[in-house]
Amino acid sequence: MRAANYSSMNIFNLEQIKEINDVIKSNFIKGNDDYAKESLKTSHVKFVNYAKIQKYIFPFVEFCLTANNNFFGFDLHPLTSMKKLNYNIYEEGSEYSWHIDAVPQDPVRDIKLTALLNLSEDSYEGGELVLFRSNEIICNEFNTPGSAVIFPSFINHKVNKITSGKRYTLAIWLSGPKFR
């Protein structure tokens, strides 16, 4: 088992977050939220194609690829312009219980890394990202707007209930050839 549980970094300032949110909100596309059905998920999810926001989130993607090179070492497929990204909206009372990110029925690829970008413009309470390996790890760094976190998708994780405000995140799942 690899030593690194996750990697995080503060990437964007409030002005940049607002610009990214504006671009995302003007480019929503249709999609289905294929969340872990055995879990409780009460957030709202919208979708955007990577091509529409690629130039705005370039530092986030670079962080993800660098973290993979430095800490995880997974074989990854390149991100394509048609990749659909999840824009998650957690309002007061919203949560996402314990789950992993996987598509077990896919015969050619596995999701290797989960990458999240905090795009909240205003403060919120609750909504902590919690990972579980041998114990619970609260990713406090990710509560800061503009911060990013990446971790192996097979690590069990959850988002605690929002107690006040709204939490906005962008999710990218980086996939690669099937694990062997």
pLDDT at 1: 38
Q: Is residue 14 part of a domain?
A: yes
Q: In which element (H, E) is residue 49 found?
A: strand 44-49
Q: Is residue 154 part of a domain?
A: yes
DSSP code for 179: P
Cα 139 from Cα 142, distance rounded (Å): 6
Q: Is residue 131 part of a domain?
A: yes
CATH, residue 12: 2.60.120.620
Q: Sorting pLDDT into bands at 50, 70 and 90, what band is 137?
A: very high
Has residue 131 got a pLDDT over 80?
Answer: yes
Q: Which domain holds residue 92?
A: 7-177
Q: Is residue 147 part of a domain?
A: yes
Mean pLDDT of 79-98: 96
Q: Is residue 143 part of a domain?
A: yes
Q: Is residue 2 part of a domain?
A: no
Q: In which element (H, E) is residue 157 found?
A: strand 156-159
Q: Sorting pLDDT into bands at 50, 70 and 90, what band is 2?
A: very low
- Quote the number of domains for the chain: 1
Q: Is the pTM of this model over 0.85?
A: yes
Cα 85 from Cα 111, distance rounded (Å): 13
Buried/exposed code over 162-177 (b: 16+ C-beta within 10 A; e: otherwise): beeebbbbbebbbbbe
DSSP code for 2: -
Q: Is residue 169 part of a domain?
A: yes
pLDDT at 6: 92
Residue type, 73: G
The 3-class secondary structure across 77-135, one letter per residue, is CCCCCCCEEEEEEECCCCCEEEECCCCCCCCCEEEEEEEEEECCCCCCEECCEEEECCC
pLDDT at 33: 80
Q: Is residue 1 part of a domain?
A: no
pLDDT at 105: 84
Mean pLDDT of 50-60: 98
